[in-house]
Amino acid sequence: MMSMEKYVKTTLKIREDIFLKGKLLASARGVSFSEILNESLEAYLKAHENEIRQKISEVMK
């Protein structure tokens, strides 16, 4: 069984310099800015996985 990724459409307030660099990188890679943003956010969340687990544990108590 294949897992489908779910997406949420949102409005974000992003610094202009970050947005422009992201758009440039996305264009160079031939992908969308959303893909660059998702990739970056996923890496950030993975780097803070222990902190996230701790917070979830606190909420579940």
3-state SS, 9-58, equals CCCCCCCHHHHHHHHHHHHHHCCCHHHHHHHHHHHHHHHCHHHHHHHHHH
Q: Which residue has the tokens 């947005």?
A: 19
Question: pTM for the complete prediction?
Answer: 0.76
pLDDT band for 4, please (50, 70, 90 cuts): confident
pLDDT of 30-41, one tens digit each?
999 999 999 999
Cα–Cα distance for residue pair 7/35, rounded to 1 Å = 11
